[in-house]
Structure 1
């Protein structure tokens, strides 16, 4: 459960760990897992909040639709909208000037940060400092508002939310050549990017959280 607000100045990471593997044999995931009390009957059970997705760049309906892409598809995850203080995952828009002042690339669509207790799992855009001995207790998804309205459509915004939630679960980027995935690093600029979770994405989740 999230117990305090995430400061905007944190370095966030939509982490890029490329594991060339078949989804049948090897999951493309980070080593850290969510704390055990967030796992119910083998399913990762997270509450999320979007109170700070309020600039108009994204709609609340798009956030919910993005989260719902993970539901009822065989993935061992449950996602429920909740109040800010009751949530495990916080989505937050960041205005363009703040984004640039934090040193984040202007072309980056969003960053996801996992936190293990008081320890951020990333300290820059490409480093994961958490290990299998760390347990995730919260996550934050920060969205670049300059890269939303007028630049891409609502279905892409929904897919972006679903993609970042995948990172919050501990799924890494999918780099398998010829494999369709929601978790492609280049998003829709990759011809194999899927707007919904695919079998490899579901297998990645279920390799981590299962009965």
Structure 2
């Protein structure tokens, strides 16, 4: 047999249509698999279907319920703004005593500023620590030029405003970190030079 004839014979074998049993297998196998999936497990005595035991030993993933603005244990959102000789204190605290303590600590630290109280009592709120927050205000009031904002949104502590030098910028950031050590600090304080 020549090479050309042999090649034609070999290729003809590959071009043959699938046998009838192949078509039956294509249709029957998916139906069998679907039927097994529907059966799932044997019925129990009470009529419920027993499910097979899971094959993995990994513990179930527990997804905590979403908290509105904060991580549990961390303070509720707050902001401290120093502008035009005024200090605005906006915070959420759990009761009147916490509100008075926070206001007293911050006011004592910033005695030369007029204080605008925007503290509200919210039942499930977590108050920021008054002393460390007051220290952050003191550092900010001393080092910032005029406008300064310390804003905690429940996840990030953001610092904005203008300072004269890198040392003042670092001082305010260090005081903010001391006020909320576990927070991520976003230091957006800008240096103002040449005035």
Q: Which structure shows the higher helix fraction?
A: 2
* TM-score of the aligned structures, taking structure 1 as reference length: 0.26
Of structures 1 and 2, the larger Rg is shown by: 2
If the length of structure 2 is used for normalisation, what is the TM-score?
0.27
